[in-house]
Structure 1
Amino acid sequence: MTAVQENQTRNPEHPQRLDLAALAPDVYRAMARFAQAAGQGLEPALVELVKIRASQLNHCAFCLDMHSKDALAGGESVERIVQVGAWAESQHFFTAREVAALELTEAVTVLTDGFVPDDVYERAAARFEPAELAQLIAAIAAINSWNRFAVTTRMVPGHYRPAG
């Protein structure tokens, strides 16, 4: 049984449309390399929070499932994962760097609201060294790309297991 057929069995209401990894393996491998490189030099917990927030905004159930589980496996608390969606109202759960990263994540992810505002960028730039900020922007771009692949192909959540 192919991965798509297996996922269609698991989720008959919204079956997976196609298997990107099998049909475009070079693209999939390039995206995996990009995503891995994008997170380097940043705290793993911060990167997972960014991935969770972007995935919430993009309505990507597959990536929410994956990155919530990865965050938990990395030692993140359930309380902080739950609060990511309301970070602006619950900033006391997060560090100033995490708040700046989450705010930048929203601005970069929801470009339909306009350009990334200068004040949002400046707050992030105040909390991250230039090389870190470049990595953060790349990490946000990477998860947004993964979200678009997963949502478009209807990758089925619920079966991901963190490595290790």
Structure 2
Amino acid sequence: MNTTKRRIKIATLAPDFYRAMIELDAQSATGLDPLLVNLVRIRASQLNGCAYCLDMHTLDARHEGDTEQRLALLPTWREARKFYSEQEQAALELTESITLISRTHVPDDVYELASNAFEDKDLAQLIGLIVTINAWTRIGVTTRLEPGHYQP
């Protein structure tokens, strides 16, 4: 991996865009269970390799009362299904499909699972949440945001 010595700070150089992302982020989680929101954000951060986002959202999850066990098992959630509700499993499946969209797009069975687990309004919010965390992780990875500075 090449190491660039200097990366830009989006918040400083594109403040209007950054504020819009913060507002989009706040709106994307509206009405959804905070534990589910954090699981989605963590899983997308894991898949995209964003250390900053992973640090932030695991801290948020702990702050909201999620357990170490659920957070530790998240990369293998399919093998540890009993720790996650059916709705969380559907959200995680959809998160993986949207995050890794170039591999399989979003298969009908994954979408159907999510649409059966969520009311339409909540499904729309969930899709917005997944799209938003994927945008954030791409910013974090591209600009190499450093973990360890975030406080919930």
Task: Report the TM range for the smaller structure's normalisation.
Answer: over 0.9
Map of 1:151 onto structure 2: 141
Structure 1 length-normalised TM: 0.89
Q: Provide the alpha-carbon RMSD of the alignment.
A: 1.1
Code of the residue aligned with 1:106 in structure 2: it is E
State the structure with more CA Rg: 1
Structure 2 length-normalised TM: 0.96
Code of the residue aligned with 1:49 in structure 2: it is L
1:160 to partner: Cα distance: 1.0
Partner SS state of residue 88, structure 1: helix
Map of 2:91 onto structure 1: 101
Map of 2:43 onto structure 1: 53
**Could you tell me how far apart the structure 2 residues matched to 1:146 and 1:125 are?**
25
Q: Evaluate the alpha carbon distance shift between residue 18 and residue 127 of structure 1 in structure 2; reply closer, same or farther with a 3 A threshold.
A: same
How many residues are paired up? 150
Unmatched runs of 5 consecutive residues or more in structure 2: none
**Could you tell me how far apart the structure 1 residues matched to 2:14 and 2:74 are?**
32
Map of 1:129 onto structure 2: 119
Judging by fraction of residues, say which structure has more helix. Answer: 2
Sequence identity (%): 51
2:32 matched to 1:42?
Answer: yes
Q: Evaluate the alpha carbon distance shift between residue 62 and residue 136 of structure 1 in structure 2; reply closer, same or farther with a 3 A threshold.
A: same
One of 20, 38, 41 as aligned partner of 1:30: 20
Q: Quick check: 1:21–1:28 contact (8 Å CA) kept in 2?
A: yes
Unmatched runs of 5 consecutive residues or more in structure 1: 1-12
